[in-house]
Amino acid sequence: MRILVVANQKGGVGKTTTAINLGTALAAVGEKVLLIDSDPQGNASTGLGVGRAQRKTTLYDVLMGESVIADAVVKTELPGLDLVPADPDLSGVELELGQQARRSFKLRDALEPLRAAGEYTYVLIDCPPSLNLLTVNAMAASDAVLVPLQCEFFALEGLTQLMRTIELVRGSLNPHLEIQGVVLTMYDRRNSLSEQVARDVRGHFGETVYNTVIPRNVRVSEAPSFGKPALVYDLKCAGSQAYLKLAREVVVRERDRRAKAA
Ligand code: ADP
Ligand code: MG
């Protein structure tokens, strides 16, 4: 089981879109995926068609120690893709956990039984756009960080800041935290800035950046309002095809990484 946190402290860069569609695409190529919605806005839950009424037990209950994670798991319409939903209560976790010991390890502890059960091959955690206790819990619980990066002017600066945060987490909470990869999102071929940013980011981060680039595509942005991943809403659109290609790249790289580690 590989636990990946989808993180970037900037909002609107494609974290949730990537969590939903990469999760769907990984399930489509045969992986067993659990998506954990760790954003009180619950966009990943809504985008997967899990409405408020279906969110009886949520990540909030799990982090507060009131439920085990298995009880919070809901099946989505897609075989191979399950969800732990979020609701607005989740924003209270920071205050409610206060200075409790292990407050940063609530998610890691909660995920432990899943590792033992071996039911999932990938766990994707969708984070809020800030470096709060929820993001810290996600980073402490994860094997690696997957970074969606929007092709815009300040992208590189944001990325440098995120890398510093990852260093901090390694030094304190999770020495094994790796960088799984950087994925360029909302790429616009007609915009020369997109191309320039992509080149700069590849120049700085080399192999860490996936070859697959996610294009800006209206079908991708329409899909959540139908409670469907883009891959279900319109499999043929360029965005869906890009996420499928990304999933294959993630799986191949993961296989190589394992071979090297063995
Ligand atoms: P984050 O979770 O980082 O805040 P989102 O995934 O919610 O970002 O994306 C922000 C906005 O951009 C959303 O309205 C989403 O639908 C849109 N979006 C994300 N990726 C794409 C894409 N590839 N093409 C078009 N719109 C996109
Ligand atoms: Mg989001």
Residue pLDDT, tens place only, 235-254? 999 999 999 999 999 999 99
Is domain 2-261 annotated with CATH 3.40.50.150?
A: no
State in Å: Cα 54 to ligand 1 middle.
24
Please name which of 251, 36, 31, 207 lies closest in space to residue 137, comparing C-alpha atoms: 36
Is the pLDDT at 131 greater than 90? The verdict is no
The DSSP letter of residue 128 is P
Q: Indicate if ligand 1 lies below 6 Å from the C-beta of 240.
A: no
152: pLDDT confidence band, cut at 50, 70 and 90?
confident
Which pLDDT does position 100 carry in this prediction? 87
96: pLDDT confidence band, cut at 50, 70 and 90?
very high
79: pLDDT confidence band, cut at 50, 70 and 90?
very high
Residues near 221 by beta carbon (within 8 Å), at least 6 away in sequence:
17
Q: Indicate if ligand 1 lies below 6 Å from the C-beta of 239.
A: yes
Q: Is the pTM of this model over 0.90?
A: yes
User: What is the rounded average pLDDT for all residues in the chain?
Assistant: 95
Q: Indicate if ligand 1 lies below 6 Å from the C-beta of 127.
A: no
Report which residue type is found at 152. E
Is the pLDDT at 153 greater than 90? The verdict is no
Report which residue type is found at 2. R
Is the pLDDT at 80 greater than 90? The verdict is yes
Residues near 25 by beta carbon (within 8 Å), at least 6 away in sequence:
231, 240, 243, 244, 246, 247
Domain boundaries, the chain: 2-261
Ligand with smallest separation from the Cα of 18: 1
Please name which of 182, 247, 242 lies closest in space to residue 216, comparing C-alpha atoms: 242
* Complex prediction ipTM: 0.99
98: pLDDT confidence band, cut at 50, 70 and 90?
confident
